[in-house]
């Protein structure tokens, strides 16, 4: 089920046409961007990212869903980032990836290099807003952690379009972040999909992670079982937005 937009560039509902129906998509502070060395400013005040309760117990259950644009896992409201000016509570995580023929699908690029895939852990400012729907269009509403992946996820994430939701056992979400949480890029940006609200404080980790197939087993099993019940279907791939103009934004780095 496509809600009136897709990722293909020049197609009538593709990303080149998002601004016609979603004006913010053609506005300021858009994401993703190319994290270019020449552009970076070292900021010694950027502290290591600290996350709370990312190590979920398998006794807990998470909901896995697919809206036709990505696959997302709802997260425990116990999970948060504590090292920013406000506390940001986790809401969901999702991925952007390429395809088997072109295993390059990250949204942020580093000196124009596109990684195989990118994980986004979406949090909302729970000091100021009661829930994510209230926070989503506020300038200080969201904080997303971005993690570049070097290994393509398509083998486990090649599932079909479906509105189904399944419960999966929780696992250690910290294992989806790189070991070093002190080295990252930081800038003010937006949602990378319509309606492209300029509401996201972006943190993109410097170090990519490589995950084994095994680490994705929980997700994969759920996806395959969702898939099996779905006959008329369409594969979901290349769900990334092109990089956007940096304009006069400051792009900070926590490292030299
Ligand atoms: C994906 O990216 C997510 C959106 C997310 C946007 O399209 O979709 C999924 O994960 C499939 C369900 O998440 C939802 O729509 C959650 C219901 O939008 C948000 O997170 C809005 C708060 C854009 O997020 S991104 O900028 O990090 N890429
Ligand atoms: Zn995303």
Per-residue model confidence as pLDDT tens digits over 70-127:
778 899 999 999 999 999 999 999 888 887 777 789 999 999 999 988 999 999 999 9
Residue 132 CA, closest ligand 1 atom number: 22
pTM to 2 decimal places: 0.91
Q: Interface pTM (ipTM) of the complex? A: 0.94
Pocket of ligand 1 (CB under 6 A): 65, 67, 69-70, 72, 92, 94, 120, 122, 132, 136, 144, 191-193, 200
Residue-by-residue pLDDT tens, the chain, 256 positions:
445 788 888 788 899 999 999 999 999 999 999 999 999 999 999 999 999 999 999 899 988 877 777 778 899 999 999 999 999 999 999 888 887 777 789 999 999 999 988 999 999 999 999 999 999 999 999 999 999 998 766 544 444 445 567 788 888 899 899 999 999 999 999 999 999 999 999 999 999 998 765 555 545 444 444 444 443 344 567 889 999 999 999 999 999 9
DSSP string across 138-195: STTSEEEEEEEESS--HHHH--B----EEEEE--BGGGGS-S--S-EEEEEE--SSTT
Residue 90 contacts residue 62 (beta carbons within 8 Å) = no
Structure tokens given for 37 = 């060395």
CB-hemisphere CA count at 13 Å for 13?
A: 8
Q: Catalytic amino acids?
A: 69
- Report the nearest-CA residue for atom 21 of ligand 1: 136
Name the 3-class secondary structure at 63: strand
Structure tokens given for 46 = 């950027």
Residues in the chain, total: 256
User: Euclidean distance between the first and final Cα of the chain, in Å?
Assistant: 45
DSSP letter, residue 211: -
């Amino acid at each position: 089920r496509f809600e009136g937009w897709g990722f293909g560039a020049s197609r009538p509902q593709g990303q080149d046409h998002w601004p016609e129906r979603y004006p913010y998509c053609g506005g300021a502070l858009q994401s993703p961007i190319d994290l270019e060395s020449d552009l970076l400013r070292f900021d010694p005040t950027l502290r290591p990212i600290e996350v709370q309760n990312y190590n979920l117990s398998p006794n807990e259950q998470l909901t896995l869903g697919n809206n036709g644009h990505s696959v997302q896992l709802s997260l425990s409201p116990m999970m948060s980032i504590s090292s920013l000016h406000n506390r940001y509570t986790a809401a969901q995580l999702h991925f952007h990836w390429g395809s088997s023929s072109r295993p390059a699908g990250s949204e942020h690029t580093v000196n124009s290099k596109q990684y195989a895939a990118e994980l986004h852990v979406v949090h909302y400012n729970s000091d100021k807003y009661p829930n994510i729907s209230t926070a989503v269009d506020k300038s200080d509403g969201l904080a997303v952690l971005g993690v570049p992946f070097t290994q393509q996820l398509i083998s486990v994430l090649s599932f079909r379009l479906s509105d189904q939701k399944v419960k999966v056992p929780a696992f250690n979400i910290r294992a989806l972040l790189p070991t070093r949480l002190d080295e990252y890029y930081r800038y003010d940006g937006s949602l990378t999909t319509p309606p492209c609200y300029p509401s996201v404080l972006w943190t993109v980790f410097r170090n990519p992670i490589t995950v084994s197939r095994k680490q994705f087993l929980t997700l994969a099993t759920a996806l395959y079982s969702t898939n099996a019940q779905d006959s008329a279907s369409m594969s979901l791939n290349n769900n990334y937005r092109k990089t956007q103009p940096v304009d006069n934004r400051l792009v900070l780095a926590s490292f030299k």
